[in-house]
Structure 1
């Protein structure tokens, strides 16, 4: 899954950075309005908001799980405390606070995972020899979870990361397109290394904690038994850093979509800068409170993650890609593509279950076909798209 995420970030950097830099925008939805229409901006903002909100919920569950293991407190209380800290500094400091804390958190998580927990947990488990002896053979088979699940990960996360507002907003803040490209490719490569490190830690945990009940708590549990107190604090801080980094970014992304693409664009177009900041902060607080409530209700990371990326990758990927690389796709096609694909995905998840792959494939197919049919097989009178040079 993390490899699929890294792949999405790398492809974004290599193929989309230059195109994105040509648009002076804050959000994906704002870009879609420039390319298509204000109606397309509205529906895409709603879809992207659902995604970023669910991504925030994922992080709230993650930090709650960490505190639950670490402190032994009630899960709901841990979510409230951990989530409250994240959205407090995010509300007060905005994107600048996210950037600054990202830098600190990156250093902490790198030291904690690669230089502390990885070698110590592997050593406690008996090294590679013990892993080869005690683990089932499937643990060394890269395709053990099945081709369908692997395919789902790449459909969900690779395509989703390429059109995710939480990732794009970092591109928007880069000084030059070259910086954006280097940063995204480097981040993707780092994700590959992170995926391997976490997999080895998980394999070691299987030896050390064969009877663990909640697999969401594996990382924190293995840290508790493998590390001395001082080092343990740093490693748990590294896990919290990784979660908080993503959570703060997704909160800002969700707030920006609502305040910039919905409130400012459709309800208060003449709002002052100070008023906009005030609305953004109120929105951020509302998102934080709502995501904490949802996290307490769901309490399952993969459930929330699957829903988030299913809607995003299935509904927005093709309209964004066609919008960047083709001038022939028009506004009506993009508008109906997003609405129909999102409806198909949500209905499919409700009927087949939120872990099903089919709804994502069906939704993506509906999106692609709708774009083609309404853009390339309708009369010229119906082609009302905004012609801009995206080459």
Structure 2
């Protein structure tokens, strides 16, 4: 990188620092830390939400797996975009009915009781910690591939920056930095694809140079593998804590609906851009590690001056997601576990400092996780097993249909955990079907069977009386 590139990259981090410092004054209480005072209008909600879920998996991960497998992986990854569109149209507006809610646990307790809140809190933390670890791994990948620095110190330094502004600025800092990061990724990642296509000879030349399987819908995947991936991505981040918090931070259901649905539409475009950059990397640099497809294109094909901005954009993509999950872990622990089960009379001031302290501690745990998984996508898929087969079905049934079937919710969460774990240990490798899919199916079946049985039992008791 040239001196100009370093100056531009340094300027990006200066902006992050300025935002973090000026937002500290706006965080007066736990509401400000968790949901930014419920004042986030839809354009800001859209930008912040898009920056949050377009993280390392949606950029480096999609580019890397498309490099290896072709567009079939992008089609499977579209499950995310479909999920966001559906949630935006049908679910997000209903979340605004839960006045004063900060977390998914607030919703689950209202419908299914305190035990459901505790389970949701624990599983939320496990999910968020895993995805945060994936983003930490992505930070190391970007810095190692672009700045030629070792991955381990890169992860530590990058996560250190995220932890500092997330811990002290809370949701205000996360959302404002997300908007800066959204501008960077929304402008410079598409510019990277346009310039890279020019280097490879244009779209027609790219298509001609690629293996046929890389351009087909099915690629080399069997039906079970494709369905498993699509369902994993469809359910894996459905209403996960950071996205629910963003929804609660909007002033009304209209802002929630528009912001969520727009982010889903934007996701289709972004995934296509990231996947296409991966295919350019395959043609130009076929021997590189897959996770380095996007950083290599940036470093080798872009002109001086632009490299620094695009490296900043890549870091923006990852850091925005990392900060969102870090903030959520702190909020979930205090709101769903500590306050209701450990210290119900905790003061607002102590809650705020607990959330800040937890953000610092969790950053260390996520960094350790990042150093122990083989790839960004693997880290994401491991994390999703804590959410999709357990919480998603009871949560959606509660929000959409008002269910209060406590026994059904608790039974389905337990069934999802047991079936997913058993399948992953004993049957996932020989069958090729992801344990998340089987666990989610078991969760769905058990919920409705138990709900039906308990409803019939109540009716029988009522008729006897």
Equivalent residue in structure 2 for 1:69, among 142, 145, 153: 145
Residues 156-182 of structure 1: CA deviation (Å, up to 9, x unaligned): 122233231121111011111111111
Question: Which segment drifts farther, 144-153 or 264-273?
Answer: 144-153
Structure 2 unaligned regions, length at least 5:
1-75
**2:371 counterpart SS class:** helix
Q: TM-score with structure 2 length normalisation? A: 0.78
Q: Is the 8 A contact 1:41 1:261 kept in 2?
A: yes
By how many angstroms is 1:382 displaced? 11
- What does residue 156 of structure 1 align with? 232
Residues 128-163 of structure 1: CA deviation (Å, up to 9, x unaligned): 232122110112212214233332233112223323
Structure 1 unaligned regions, length at least 5:
384-391
Question: Which segment drifts farther, 282-291 or 148-157?
Answer: 148-157
Q: Is the 8 A contact 1:94 1:252 kept in 2?
A: yes
Equivalent residue in structure 1 for 2:458, among 380, 383, 386: 380
CA distance in 1, matches of 2:220, 2:238: 24
- What does residue 111 of structure 1 align with? 187
Q: Is the 8 A contact 1:3 1:192 kept in 2?
A: yes
- What does residue 134 of structure 2 align with? 58
CA distance 1:358–1:208, change in 2 (3 Å):
closer
Q: Is the 8 A contact 1:55 1:250 kept in 2?
A: yes
Equivalences, count: 381
1:298 aligns with 2:373: yes
CA distance in 2, matches of 1:194, 1:328: 36
Equivalent residue in structure 1 for 2:260, among 172, 176, 184: 184
CA distance in 2, matches of 1:297, 1:68: 17
- What does residue 31 of structure 2 align with? none
- What does residue 66 of structure 2 align with? none
- Structure 2 counterparts to residues 274-353 of structure 1, below 5 A: 274-352=349-427
CA distance 1:86–1:357, change in 2 (3 Å):
farther
Q: TM-score with structure 1 length normalisation? A: 0.93
**1:169 counterpart SS class:** helix
Q: Is the 8 A contact 1:52 1:251 kept in 2?
A: yes
- Structure 2 counterparts to residues 149-298 of structure 1, below 5 A: 149-212=225-288, 214-298=289-373
Question: Which segment drifts farther, 318-327 or 166-175?
Answer: 318-327
Residues 307-337 of structure 1: CA deviation (Å, up to 9, x unaligned): 1123211111111112123345511221121
By how many angstroms is 1:229 displaced? 2.2
Aligned-pair RMSD on alpha carbons? Answer: 1.9
CA distance in 2, matches of 1:308, 1:101: 25
